[in-house]
Structure 1
Amino acid sequence: MHMFSLSIPLSLRREEWYSPWIFGNITTAMLRKEGTATIEELGRAPLPTEFGDWTYIVFGDLAHGKQHEVLVFGDASKDMLYEEADDILVRVHSSCRTSEIFHAVNCECREQLHSSMSFIRQEGRGVIVYLDQEGRGNGIVGKLAQLNKMFGWKSQEIEQKQDISSGEPMNTVKAYKESGYLPEVRDFNVAGEILKILGVRSVKLLTNNPQKIEGIASVGIGVKPVEIHITPANEIIAIDLQSKARNLKHKISEEHWKTNKS
C-alpha cells in the first residue's frame, strides 16, 4: 500500500467538489513542499476495443486527487512505449461524462475521442491521455451550473437559452462565466508529465486548442499540432465551436462549424 504524509482538511475536500482547480493548486504546493512526486503509475493491462487492441494504463495524480487514464495502441507491457518515442500521435482528451456515457448532444467530445482512436489505429501507434478534468476543469458541479445557464425546459422539451446581452443563443464560454466559473481551467501540464513518464520525446498532437500545445511543450516535449475537426451534428455544437474559436482562440474556421444541415 502506498502512503504519504499529506493531511488534507475536510474543508479542502469539500472545496474540491465546487472548485477543483483551487484544490489542485493548494495541494500541489503542499506536495512540492514535502518533496512528494505528484504523478505515479498505478498499473496497466491489455484492453480490446472497437478501435483495436490497446494497453490501458492508470496514473494517480496526487495533487488533484484524480486518476487519469491512458490508452497506448498495441502492446505497451514494457516500460517504454515504442522503440522510437518521437513523433507519437497523441490525443489529450478530458473526460466528458454527459457526452461519452449519456450521449448528450450539446458537444462533440465523444466524436473527437472516437475519431482520435481511429486515427491512431490507422497510424499504427499512438496514445490517448484521458484526463479526469470534467467540465473544462470546473468539475461536475461547475458543469451543472453551465448547463443550467445554457438550457431550460419548455413544454416538456429542452430549449437553448438566449444570451440577454447579445440576443444570441447561450454558449458554453458565456454560461461558465455567468455561473461564476472560468471557461478553461484544465491543467495540461499533467498530460505532459504523464507522457514524459511513458518515455515520449515528441508528439503529433491532435488538437485545435493552443493551451494544450503550450501545456505539453512546457515540460520539454516537442509538439507538432495536428488539427482535428468534427462536423457539428446540430446548431448547439456549431454555436459552441464558434465560441471556442472566438473566445478561446481554438484553431477552428467558419467552414468547420457548419452543421450537416448547413
Structure 2
Amino acid sequence: MSNNDKNELELRRLRAVDRAIADLRRGLSVIVTGEKEASIVLATEMAFDPELKTLAERSGAEPVLALTAHRANVLHIQPTGDDAIRLVIEEWMDAPLMRALADATHDLDQPFRGPFTRIKEGLPPTIPAAIKIAKLGRLLPSVVAASIELDQVEAISRKHDLSVVSLEDILAYEDSAALQLRAVASAKVPLQAAENTTFHAFRPKDGGIEHMAIVVGDPNRREPLLARLHSECFTGDLIGSLKCDCGEQLRGALKAISEEGGGVLLYLAQEGRGIGLINKLRAYNLQQQGFDTIDANERLGFDADERVFRPAAEMLKLLGFQKIRLMTNNPEKVEGLERHGIAITERVSHKFPSNTHNELYLATKKKRSGHYL
C-alpha cells in the first residue's frame, strides 16, 4: 500500500469516528463493530423513551445499560473485573432514571435505587469502545447498547442511515488524530505578558479538534527551550475562577517565558482534564457536595485524568522543538512527553499560592495525583 493510500485510509478511519461522535451528541444511535460482534449504541445522556424503543426495534434484542466500573462502584454495583458493567434494563427503569444513573449530580435527589441486575458473562469489546466514544464526544461515559450480528450491520445501517465505526478505529482515534496534526494558520499576537508572540493553530487533517501553540520570541531550536503544556480552562483562564490555579498558571507561564527570552506555551483543547466543560461543571457540583476533584471525576464515571499528551508532543516536533525544559508540577506530563519522543532536560517548578476556594483542590493534586506542590 502506498503512503497516499495509507494516509487516505487513516483519514477515512478518523472521519468514521468523528461522524459517530457527532451522531451520539445529537441523540442518534450508531453501530460499533468488533472482530466477532457488533452493537447499536445510544449515549445514555441523550436517551429518551422513544429512542430506547427505536433501539430495541432496530436491533431485535433487549438493550442493556452500560456504565464504567468507576460509576458502578458509586452505585454499589459489585465489580466484574471489567472496565465496564452492563445492567439489565428492568421494567421500572425508564429513560429519565437511566439518565440519572449516568449522572452523579442526581445521586442525592434519588438516593435509594435498585436493586440492579448486572450481566456477568463475558463483556463484548464493543461496549467499552462505545463508552470511549461517548467520552470523546465529551458526554457522560455511559451508553445504552443492544447486540446485533456482524452480518446484520450493513443492512441495519443502510435501512436506518446509521453511522458505523469499528472498535479498532475508536481505540486508535486519539493517537491517529495527533499524528495527523498540521499547522493551518499563524499570526503575530502581542500579549500583555509578551509582545513578541506568534500563535500557531494546529488541526488534524480530518478537521477535528484544534490546539494552539503560543511561541514567544524566536527560540533557538538547538537548545532546550522553556515550555509549558496548558490545558484550556474556560472558567479559570477567561472568567477568573478561584476554584483552580489555571489562570495564574497561564499568565505566569507566559510571563516567565518572556523573561527567559523565548519559549513556547501549548494551549491544548483538553478542558477539565479531558472531560469537557459541561462535565467539569458537573464535577464542580459534586465538589460542592463535599467530594474532592478526583472523587468527583470518578463518581461521574471518568478516570481521574482523561488527558493524552501525544498531541503536545507532535506539535512540538512540528515546531522543531525536540528538547525542552518543562514548566510543570505534574510528573505525568513529563512521562507522557518522553514516551512520545520529547526529551525533558529539566522540570521547572510552576506553582502559585492557594486561596480559600482552591486550597483543597491543590492539596488533593499533591496528595492523590503526586503533583509537586
TM-score interval for Structure 1 and Structure 2 normalised by the shorter chain: 0.7 to 0.9
Displacement of 1:125: 0.8
Give the equivalent residue in structure 1 for 2:201. Answer: 58
Which amino acid in the other structure matches residue 306 of structure 2? V
The answer on 1:147 being equivalent to 2:284 is: yes
Q: Higher helix fraction: Structure 1 or Structure 2?
A: 2
The verdict on how the C-alpha distance between 1:32 and 1:128 changes in structure 2, with shifts beyond 3 A counting, is closer
Identity of aligned residues (%): 29
Report Cα offsets for 1:141-184 as digits up to 9, x if no partner.
32122011012xxxxxxxxx32xxxxxxx321111112222220
CA distance in 2 between counterparts of 1:99 and 1:201 reads: 30
The answer on 1:202 being equivalent to 2:323 is: yes
- Equivalent of 1:38, from 160, 180, 183? 180
Give the equivalent residue in structure 2 for 1:103. Answer: 240
In structure 2, the residue corresponding to 1:66 is in which secondary structure? coil
Give the equivalent residue in structure 1 for 2:308. Answer: 187
The verdict on how the C-alpha distance between 1:19 and 1:114 changes in structure 2, with shifts beyond 3 A counting, is same
CA contact (8 A) 1:57 1:70 kept: yes
Give structure 2 stretches of 5+ with no counterpart: 1-7, 26-133, 142-164
CA contact (8 A) 2:179 2:314 kept: no
Report Cα offsets for 1:198-251 as digits up to 9, x if no partner.
11121010001011101111122210111111001x223111111001111111
Displacement of 1:10: 4.5
Q: Which moved more, 1:115-124 or 1:44-53?
A: 44-53
- Equivalent of 1:93, from 206, 230, 245? 230
Give the equivalent residue in structure 2 for 1:240. Answer: 361
User: Whose Rg is larger?
Assistant: 2
The verdict on how the C-alpha distance between 1:90 and 1:231 changes in structure 2, with shifts beyond 3 A counting, is same
Q: Map 1:218-233 to 2 at 5 A.
A: 218-223=339-344, 224-232=346-354
CA distance in 2 between counterparts of 1:32 and 1:174 reads: 27
- The normalised TM-score by structure 1 is 0.77
The verdict on how the C-alpha distance between 1:217 and 1:192 changes in structure 2, with shifts beyond 3 A counting, is same
CA distance in 1 between counterparts of 2:334 and 2:172 reads: 24
The verdict on how the C-alpha distance between 1:61 and 1:239 changes in structure 2, with shifts beyond 3 A counting, is farther
CA distance in 2 between counterparts of 1:217 and 1:134 reads: 22
Q: Map 1:64-83 to 2 at 5 A.
A: 65-75=208-218, 82-83=219-220
CA distance in 1 between counterparts of 2:306 and 2:174 reads: 20
Which amino acid in the other structure matches residue 7 of structure 1? A
Q: Map 1:169-180 to 2 at 5 A.
A: 170-180=291-301
Which amino acid in the other structure matches residue 186 of structure 2? R
The answer on 1:7 being equivalent to 2:16 is: yes
- The normalised TM-score by structure 2 is 0.55
Give the equivalent residue in structure 2 for 1:49. Answer: 191
The verdict on how the C-alpha distance between 1:208 and 1:30 changes in structure 2, with shifts beyond 3 A counting, is closer
In structure 2, the residue corresponding to 1:183 is in which secondary structure? coil
Give the equivalent residue in structure 2 for 1:119. Answer: 256
Number of aligned residues: 223
Report Cα offsets for 1:49-78 as digits up to 9, x if no partner.
101220100001468931001100125xxx
Q: Which moved more, 1:89-98 or 1:235-244?
A: 235-244
CA distance in 1 between counterparts of 2:174 and 2:351 reads: 38
Give the equivalent residue in structure 2 for 1:259. Answer: none
Report Cα offsets for 1:37-59 as digits up to 9, x if no partner.
42111111111110122010000
CA distance in 2 between counterparts of 1:69 and 1:9 reads: 20
CA contact (8 A) 2:179 2:311 kept: no
The verdict on how the C-alpha distance between 1:201 and 1:17 changes in structure 2, with shifts beyond 3 A counting, is closer
Give the equivalent residue in structure 2 for 1:156. Answer: none
Displacement of 1:190: 1.3
CA RMSD in angstroms, aligned pairs only: 2.7
The verdict on how the C-alpha distance between 1:9 and 1:226 changes in structure 2, with shifts beyond 3 A counting, is closer
Which amino acid in the other structure matches residue 329 of structure 2? N
